[in-house]
Amino acid sequence: MRNLITTIALAAAAAPALAQAPDPTLARNLAATCANCHGTNGVTRGSDVEPLAGKPKDELARKVMEFKQGKKPGTIMPQLAKGYTDEQIELMAGWFAAQPAK
Ligand code: HEC
């Protein structure tokens, strides 16, 4: 019983550490699903859709969360945002924020 409790405690302690050290490839792969509309690496070329590259991480994450929660109106983004976990949204926001805006 004591071993089980220790195991659970260790697993709980490890979870936040994993969340803080995301695989950079994972963030890039998730962000690639946005490229069709927001441009390669979040840089749009002659499109009406907002570029994402170089925008502050907090702003990007907040907007996508607001789409997901139905607080921000939109055509496609409210549907799309629901397909991602909060952690995935954070990862993508961080990745786009780190891209050069060109
Ligand atoms: C099918 C096209 C399409 C895809 C794919 C797409 N978006 Fe969007 N995005 C839009 C459109 C169109 C808007 C404007 C709001 C709306 O109509 O939904 C938008 C708006 C946004 C905004 C708000 C921009 C602003 O400053 O107001 C953010 C942030 C955003 N998208 C992030 C993402 C992320 C992250 C992904 C990938 C998970 C993504 N989008 C994938 C079409 C798309």
Question: Is residue 3 pLDDT above 80, yes or no?
Answer: no
Q: Is there an atom of ligand 1 within 6 Å of 37 CB?
A: yes
Largest pairwise CA distance in the chain: 62
Q: Is there an atom of ligand 1 within 6 Å of 68 CB?
A: no
**94 CA to middle of ligand 1, Å?**
15
Rounded CA-CA distance 82/71 in Å is 12
**72 CA to middle of ligand 1, Å?**
11
**79 CA to middle of ligand 1, Å?**
10
Rounded CA-CA distance 5/100 in Å is 47
What are the tokens at 91?
A: 């990862």
pLDDT tens readout for residues 27-83: 999 999 999 999 988 998 887 899 999 999 999 999 999 999 999 999 999 999 999
Work out the angle at residue 73's Cα, subtended by the Cα atoms of residues 65 and 62, and round it to the nearest 5 degrees. Answer: 20
